[in-house]
Amino acid sequence: MKCLIILLLVFSIKNYSQRKNYFPDSDKNPNCSLINNGSFNSDDKNTLKVKFHHNKMIEILGDKETITIESKLKMLDKCKFETEIISIKTKLELKDDLMYLGKKTEYKIVETGENYIILEYPCNDDRNTCTEILDKE
């Protein structure tokens, strides 16, 4: 009887901890060609826009284009790419070292759907992995 209870407990924990599919229309294999030429938004407020065009990635932060970051984009493999910041245009004074010319960031496309992509990249001085969900415009 104890073994049965332990088995039921173990299987209930295993089932509970499995990943929930919040994106039911996601592709089984990511369609990484979505970034070849396209524009994406991070949320409904349009506070982050990302444009991919001819080996460049342009990030526009703020609803009034407060910060524009242009980066060279180099594909490392089918779903991995690296960016290097080549231009920062801002209406604000940047006092931190989070964004600077020459900064390289490696992104991985982990999931795609008909109208979105999900990117992972190192953040917080490479201590964490951040996830960005971008909706296609």
Q: Please report, for the chain, the start and end positions of each structural domain, with discontinuous segments joined by +.
A: 27-136
Strand 128-136 and strand 48-53: pairing?
unpaired
Angle at 77 between CA 76 and CA 80, to 5 degrees: 70
Model confidence, pTM: 0.75
* Secondary structure of 93-116 in HEC code, one letter for each residue: CCCCCCCCCCCEEEEEEEEECCCE
Q: How far apart are CA 71 and CA 86, in angstroms?
A: 5
For residues 122 and 29, what is the distance between their CA atoms, to the nearest angstrom?
A: 22
Which residue's structure tokens are 């790419």?
A: 81
pLDDT for 8:
62
Per residue in 29-86, pLDDT (tens digit) is 888 888 888 899 987 666 889 999 889 999 998 877 788 999 999 999 999 999 999 9
CATH for 27-136, options being 2.30.30, 1.10.45, 2.40.128, 2.60.40: 2.40.128
| CA gap 113, 28 in Å, rounded | 9
